[in-house]
Amino acid sequence: MTQSALAQDDAADAAPQSLTDGFHLLIDALRLNDIDTIYNVPGIPITDLGRYAQAQGMRVISFRHEQHAGYAAAAAGFLTRKPGVCMTVSAPGFLNGLTALAHATTNCWPMILISGSSEREIVDLQRGDYEEMDQLAIARPHVKAAYRILHAEDIGLGVARAVRAALSGRPGGVYLDVPGALLGQVMDAVEGEKSLIKVVDPNPASLPSPEAVTRAVDVLSNAKKPLIIIGKGAAYAQCDDKIRELVETLGFPYLPMSMAKGLLPDTHPQCASAARSLVLKQSDCVFLIGARLNWLLSHGQGPGWGEKGGKSFVQIDIEPTEMDSNQSISAPLIGDIESCATALLDAIGTTWKKPDESWTGAVRDKVIGNVEKMAPRLQNNNSPMDYHSALGVIKQTIADNPDTVLVNEGANALDLTRSIVDVIKPRKRLDVGTWGIMGIGMGSAVAAAVETDNQVLAVEGDSAFGFCGMEVETISRYNLPVCIVVMNNNGIYRGDGENWSGGKDPATTVFVPDSRYDQMMTAFGGVGAHVTNADELRQAIGEAFASRKPTLINAVIDPAAGRESGNIGNLNPQSVVAQARYPQART
């Protein structure tokens, strides 16, 4: 036996089996609540917490930056309906993780950020501790709940409160503050075990009232041109068969929001995605299922929504205060989606009269016409590619491999992928979410691979990828089946921007032209490919899927192919002064 092994043995003797500590209680409390994975970046005071968690059989995925560990935890929460857990060090690590925690809260996904922190007596007197910060106070405005645990015997309680807060009602982010000293606290092992709490029914069914159901059926049955909008709350709810039954029984055309794509296959005959403008404008009744009337739906108003006051709204949501947040909701159904859908189906029975063919047929004709119009654009083999030629290949890839999790971010790279690439199965699309964040890609890809073990295809704008690109090392290190396609158009929106002063600095929106992002993956032992046309792209993706090796494909896109801000250019502020001063600004 070596000297150090002997020393370890002595130490083990000195710590009898009858004791436990804060480290182990925290790990035991998480595991007791079915949390088996932690997304983390190590450092004081949580380095050993990660080691011990791994030693105890948890999956601990260490990232290069906390923001991406956090985005992974947020995506894991959406995919699994369990809180995704991210663990960070104090102050700067905590702040890096906080962006992702706020993102989880904004998207209504369950996540717990556990951050080590400095000691209260030093922080509260601002005596200047290592990475000192009042993290609890800073977290609070961005989360559903924030708790600090000071005593080992309260760890069970703290974790139980965090799990329940994250999952119950409208899900969201929870912050758990873990001062370093807590982890080293020792207590009796039997007492410690007794102090742990397994949360019972953290996500209880919430039934709509019978009056609310009757009212909703009344409004829906009076509609002549009804439309369903399905949001990512419905994807999160994991009652896919019930939602499909409801949509098919009602017989309304439906629009899936971005991350609700695939809940019913995008190829479903009632899917109206390719007739979006028509159905938003002409419908007379909109039935929202786990979708908010926020900016992504122009707040349910404006020219795209047809005549003012020309629509009634029915909405299912778990959160009562969501109602009337943008438009008057004639029939609110407050409850969980499964209970509401079940109650509606029971109420309408077998006598439901589907909407008139004059409406559903017109929508269907528009869909078929638009899909046919798009088809030839998706089949060109030009070099460099435009977005459409690259996405024609990706569309076929997903059609052939419907279990693939498609991760997607960028501007043009996002908007065009969303509208062109059909998703066939539920929860197979992860993207920028409610905030439209750049940089969620690699964290989401890691979470998708870790949580599902399915092949992941990340379609990334070159700018979007830049926010999280260092995590290709993480993907390589854990040997995850992730294929990244960087849509490389040399910049943000377009790669042909100019410096309007005529000076020597590059334009604010362009990057080093003809960069080779593929070499970032080969630097870490993964596979890199550089492709300039659709045939080469098809081959590179085929090889990545066959081998399941970490792969990065640098897909060369015409720098002039994109549009400013993709589909949301109208959100850019404009002024007459600027337009008079810069001729280039006139559009």
- Min dist. Cβ of residue 333 to ligand ADP (A): 9
Write down the least CB distance from residue 289 to ligand ADP, Å.
8
Does the bond joining 426 to the residue before it have cis omega, within 30 degrees of 0? Answer: no
Binding residue for ligand ADP (CB under 6 A) from 62, 221, 270, 294? 294
Contact between 257 and ligand ADP per CB under 6 A? yes
Q: Which is nearer to ligand TZD, 202 or 439 (CB)?
A: 439
411 binds ligand TZD (CB under 6 A): yes
Q: How far is the C-alpha of 420 from the C-alpha of 375, rounded, in Å?
A: 10
Do 488 and 556 meet the contact criterion of CB atoms below 8 Å apart? yes
Answer yes or no whether residue 110 interacts with ligand ADP by CB under 6 A. Answer: no
For ligand ADP, give the closer residue by CB, 444 or 474. Answer: 444
Q: Burial-class residue 438 by CB neighbours within 10 Å (0-12, 13-18, 19+).
A: buried
Binding flag, residue 145, ligand TZD (CB under 6 A): no
131 makes contact, choosing from ligand TZD, Mg ion, ligand ADP, none, with CB < 5 to 8 Å by partner type, with none
Question: Is residue 489 a contact residue for Mg ion (CB under 5 A)?
Answer: yes
Nearer to ligand ADP, 49 or 288 (CB): 288
Q: List the structure tokens of 475.
A: 């993907």
Residue 461 touching Mg ion (CB under 5 A): yes
- Classify burial at 376, counting beta carbons within 10 Å of its beta carbon; exposed 0-12, middle 13-18, buried 19 or more: exposed
* Using rule CB under 5 A, residue 317 touches Mg ion: no
One-letter amino acid at 494 equals R
437 binds, among Mg ion, ligand ADP, ligand TZD, none (CB under 5 to 8 A by kind): ligand TZD
Interface residue with ligand TZD among 97, 355, 441, 562 (CB under 6 A) is 562
Of 159, 158, 155, give the one whose Cα is nearest residue 192.
Answer: 155
Dihedral angle sign, alpha carbons of residues 248, 249, 253, 257: negative
CB of 13 to ligand TZD, least distance (A): 52
Our finding on whether 296 is near ligand ADP (CB under 6 A) is yes
Beta carbons of 558 and 388 less than 8 angstroms apart: no
| CB closer to ligand ADP out of 77 and 441 | 77
Q: How many CA atoms lie within 13 A of 294 on its CB side?
A: 14
Instruction: Collapse the DSSP code of 186 into the 3-class scheme (helix H, G, I; strand E, B; otherwise coil) and give the result.
Output: strand
Q: How is residue 291 written in tokens? A: 């979708």
Q: Does 462 bind Mg ion (CB under 5 A)?
A: yes
User: Which of Mg ion, ligand ADP, ligand TZD, none does residue 438 bind to, with CB < 5 to 8 Å depending on kind?
Assistant: ligand TZD
Shortest distance in whole angstroms from residue 233 CB to ligand TZD: 22
Looking at the Cβ atoms of 449 and 459, the one nearer to ligand TZD is 459
Query: Which partner from the list ligand TZD, Mg ion, ligand ADP, none does 434 bind, CB cut-off 5 to 8 Å by kind?
Result: ligand ADP
413 touches ligand TZD by CB under 6 A: yes
Q: How far is the CB of 539 from ligand TZD (least distance, A)?
A: 22
Binding ligand TZD by CB under 6 A: which of 226, 290, 300, 461? 461
Does residue number 410 form part of the binding site for ligand TZD (CB under 6 A)? yes
- The secondary element (H helix, E strand) that includes residue 458 is strand 456-461
Q: Name the helix (H) or strand (E) containing 414.
A: helix 412-420
Residue number, 107 or 489, with CB nearest to Mg ion:
489
CA atoms within 13 A on the CB side of 401: 18
Residue nearest to ligand ADP according to CB distances in the complex:
233
C-alpha pair distances (Å), 207 with each of 235, 333, 409: 19, 9, 36
| Cβ at position 432, least distance to ligand TZD in Å | 7
Tokens of 178: 């873990």
Q: String of b and e for 505-521 (b: at least 16 CB within 10 Å)?
A: eeeebbbeeeeebbebb
Residue 518: both structure tokens together = 């593929």
412 counts as binding ligand TZD under rule CB under 6 A: yes
**Are 523 and 534 spatial neighbours (Cβ–Cβ below 8 Å)?**
no
Q: Give the nearest distance from C-beta 335 to ligand ADP in angstroms.
A: 7
Q: Which residues contact 130 (CB under 8 A, 6 or more apart)?
A: 44, 90, 118
Number of residues that bind ligand TZD (CB under 6 A): 18
DSSP strand E in 248-300: where? 254-256, 285-289
The site map against ligand TZD for 463-482 (x = CB under 6 A) is xx------------------
How far is it, in rounded angstroms, from Cα 192 to Cα 370?
A: 63
Interface residue with ligand ADP among 322, 415, 422, 460 (CB under 6 A) is 322
In the bound state with ligand TZD, the residue whose beta carbon lies nearer, of 436 and 542, is: 436
Q: In angstroms, rounded to a whole number, what is the distance separating the alpha carbons of residues 359 and 226?
A: 9
Q: Which does 464 bind (CB under 5 to 8 A by kind): ligand TZD, Mg ion, ligand ADP, none?
A: ligand TZD
Per CB under 6 A, 123 contacts ligand ADP: no
Nearest-approach distance from CB 387 to Mg ion, in angstroms: 10
Site for ligand ADP (CB under 6 A): which residue of 227, 318, 430, 484? 318
- Cα gap 198→159, rounded to integer Å: 9
Asked if 397 interacts with Mg ion (CB under 5 A), we say no
Residue 66 near ligand TZD by CB under 6 A: no
**Contacting ligand ADP within 415-444 (CB under 6 A):** 434
| DSSP per position, 460-515 | EEHHHHHTTGGGHHHHHHTT--EEEEEEE-SBSS-S----TT--SSPPTTB-STT-
Query: What is the separation of C-alpha 13 from the centre of its chain, rounded to a whole number of angstroms?
Result: 47
Determine which residue in the list 437, 456, 520, 529 makes contact with ligand TZD, applying CB under 6 A. Answer: 437
- Could you tell me the smallest distance in angstroms from the CB atom of residue 55 to Mg ion? 43
Query: Which residues contact ligand TZD (rule: CB under 6 A)?
Result: 410-413, 436-439, 461-464, 487, 489, 492-493, 562, 566
Q: Which positions touch Mg ion (CB under 5 A)?
A: 461-462, 489
